[in-house]
A and B are shown apart, each in its own frame.
Chain A
Amino acid sequence: MITRFEAIEHTADKGILAYGDTPARVLESAALGMFSIMTDLELVRPRETIEVRVTAQDREALLVEWLQELLSRSQAANLLLARFRITRLEEAALEARAWGEAIDPSRHTLKVEIKAATYHRLVFAPGADGWMARVIFDV
């Protein structure tokens, strides 16, 4: 299982490109990418689990709504999440599990707060080598 992401240019905000062999892997990579903007993932222990269910209008919207749901769940519960597993995926619906722990300012690196995952320049499509996605976040 390969999960990869990288940061991309955007004037005022932050973006990522996420890659994976399958759409599910891309969704997981994108989630890792988003949380890596907020914190150093390797310092976050998988102490707690949350279950996530998302539905959307179409595949691209699903990507945004998945990230939005993770963002909003984690902020509401004051958690950082660092591991993700899609357990069920349809064109525009998914179920997943995520692992992380409560924010601990003495241990965790706290970089920047993300306001939202946006639809701006959104891509979620098959690429040369599997699937890829692009998401821009409002910081």
Chain B
Amino acid sequence: METPFPVERLDEYRWRIPRHGGMRVPGLVFASRSILEQAATEKALEQVANVAHLPGIQGASLAMPDIHWGYGFPIGGVAAFDASEGVVSPGGVGYDISCGVRLLRTTITRKELLAKSDELAEALVKMVPRGLGARGRVALSRSEMEGLLRGGVPELLALGIGWPEDLEFIEEHGCYPGADPRQVSERAYERGGSQVGTLGSGNHFLEIQAVDEIHDEDGARLMGLELEQVVVMIHSGSRGFGHQVAADHIKVMNGVAQQARIALPDRQLACAPLDTREAGAYLGAMACAANFALCNREAMSHFTRQAFGRVFRSDARALGMSLLYDVSHNLAKWERHLVDGRERELLVHRKGATRAFGPGRPGVPARYLKMGQPVLIPGDMGRYSFILKGVESGMERSFGSTCHGAGRRMSRHQAAQSIDGRQLGQQLRSEGILVRATNMRELSEEAPAAYKDVQDIVEVCEGAGLSRRVARLRPLVVLKG
């Protein structure tokens, strides 16, 4: 394994990059040996080391086992900063601010679902716009939009979209604090205005799944899950709104880092000290984008529930379509964590990493408090996805963080060259998985073969004490943009 610096093995699942050069803390990668070796070839380990240069970083520059090279920060990167000496970096959050996953339950069984797959897929295609150019079904005035940005999901409920009982099962009760719509550009409003309730494209999806394995009986019972139960997983983010917010503030930050004379090993680590106006502006805008994402997923849930209601000739409440949980994997959050035995308020950046709080931790819904926070991990459309739970040991090892997904093993280009999208669709159909994509040619880029086996990732997280499996889910119907 070639790296420009030594990497020490701490144990089977933890690898340390010792401090060298301008690193203020060591790097710590949670990975198996083979994952580590792949990360090395991609130069993702260098990115972990680069993040360690940033002022005020606490503990270590972390990376989860789905580590990938990203923009500045690696994907799978976690970095926590002290309130007085630290910085905020939009690259540590990502362009798709608050991209995340949610899971709805149903009382439908796999058998019942399969009898109606085609009809349901067609209904969902009509109710959930997806892909490039898609326009949402929710028409919003400017002031309604500002309301959503400032107030999150409760404001969407006030418009008659969504269920009040969902709030308890969304991070931050459906509203990220500190949202400041004045920090959002006109262009972001223009891009996002017609996108509430749209899926996006790329690796975003709406998937109907069935529980096919239970790893934790008590946990599954607490989450209201059983074998053969049908659930709906939605993976999407803040759409063009969030992408614009990220781009706007990255541009500003490029200038700030220069002025603050912060030595950046990589331009894309552009950041601002937390006590600056620019940092405050970004965090205020980021919270708006996070609220946009939460509202987006809630709106899609609303229309998904309607589609199910129509197809099963019932209503979504009678079908038990409650929200299990909604969690983000691209965000910076203020959290209290122990550092060197003292409790500190830290800004924790997670980019392609999911918060995974342990049992008893404030912020975990009351229903799950004795189990730990649910964590939703998408795999690929051919194999499986997972529900995990946060654990106590994760709080101290990774600031209560775990992986976010499978990670790719083949570039989009390679996948497009070697896999035929139409044949893939037919192949999956023969395996009982119905895929609806706006463009079957582009589907090849999202083929199962293009992704790593998420089970490997999830096993490493378990071995490293970051999270534990509760249940495994198999795809039945897949909607792609």
Contacts of A12 in B (CB 8 A): 68, 70, 75, 408, 411-412
Q: Do the beta carbons of A72 and B411 come within 8 Å of each other?
A: no
**Which of A12, A103, A111 counts the most chain B CB atoms within 10 A?**
A12
User: Which residue of A10, A11, A76, A113 is within 8 Å of B190 (Cβ)?
Assistant: A76
Check if B438 sits within 8 Å of A10, measured CB to CB. Answer: no
Proximity bits, A1-26, B CB within 8 Å = 1, else 0: 00000011111111000000000000
Q: Is B61 an interface residue (CB 8 A)?
A: no
The answer, yes or no, to whether B413 is at the interface (CB within 8 Å) is yes
Contact between B268 and A119, CB atoms less than 8 A apart = yes
Assembly CA distance A94 to B187 (angstroms): 19
Chain A residues within 8 Å of B254, by CB: 57, 61
B238-275 Cβ-contact flags toward A at 8 Å (1 or 0) = 00100110110001001100000000000110000000
How far apart are the CA atoms of A66 and B70 in the complex, in Å?
A: 21
Given A118-B71, A119-B267, A139-B201, A11 contacting B42 (CB threshold 8 A): yes
Instruction: Give which listed residue, B132, B201, B251, B445, contacts A103 with CB less than 8 A.
Output: B132
A residues within 8 A CB of B200?
113
Q: Contact at A120–B414, with CB atoms within 8 Å?
A: no
A139 vs B133: C-alpha distance when bound (angstroms)? 14
Q: Is there an interface contact between A13 and B439, defined as CB atoms closer than 8 Å? A: no
Interface membership of A90, Cβ < 8 A: no
In whole angstroms, what is the CA distance A112 to B203 when docked?
10
Verify A113–B412 contact, CB threshold 8 A: no
A104 to B133, CA, bound (A): 8
A-chain residues with CB within 8 Å of residue B414 when the two chains form the complex: 9
Question: How far is B250's CA from A118's CA once the two chains are assembled, in angstroms?
Answer: 10
B191–A116 CB distance below 8 A? no
**Chain A nearest CB, measured from B414 CB (Å):** 7
Residues of A within 8 A of B410 (CB): 11
Contact for A110 among B71, B133, B202, CB less than 8 A: B133
| Chain A residues closer than 8 Å to B187, beta-carbon distance | 72-73, 76
Check B201 against A11 for contact (C-beta < 8 Å).
no
CB distance A75 to B240 under 8 Å?
yes
Q: Which of A7, A72, A73 sits near B413, CB closer than 8 Å?
A: A7
Q: Are B442 and A111 in contact (CB under 8 A)?
A: yes
Q: How close is A116's CB to chain B, nearest CB, in angstroms? A: 4
B95 beta carbon closer than 8 Å to chain A: yes
Q: Does B16 contact A (CB under 8 A)?
A: no
Give the CA-CA distance A119 to B96 in the complex, in Å.
16
B173 within 8 A of partner (CB): no
Please give me the residue from chain A that is nearest to B69 by CB atom: A11
| CB of B360 closer than 8 Å to a CB of A | no
Query: In the complex, what residues of B have CB within 8 A of residue A88's CB?
Result: none
Chain B residues, CB < 8 A from A120: 71, 268
Interface presence of B131 (CB below 8 A): yes
Given that A65-B251, A76-B187, A103-B132 are known contacts, is A111 also in contact with B42, CB under 8 Å in the complex?
no
CB pair A38–B75 under 8 Å, yes or no, is no
Whole-angstrom CA separation of A139 from B413 in the bound complex: 13
Can you give 21 A-B contacts (C-beta < 8 A)?
A7-B413, A11-B68, A11-B410, A11-B411, A11-B412, A12-B411, A13-B412, A38-B132, A57-B254, A65-B251, A76-B187, A76-B190, A103-B132, A108-B133, A110-B133, A111-B441, A113-B202, A118-B71, A118-B268, A120-B268, A138-B96
Known: A112-B131, A119-B268. 15 other contacts (CB 8 A): A11-B411, A12-B70, A39-B132, A57-B255, A72-B191, A72-B247, A76-B187, A110-B133, A111-B441, A113-B131, A113-B202, A115-B243, A116-B95, A120-B71, A138-B71
Instruction: State the A residues within 8 Å of B (CB).
Output: 7-14, 38-39, 57, 61, 65, 68, 72-73, 75-78, 103, 105, 108-113, 115-116, 118-120, 138-139
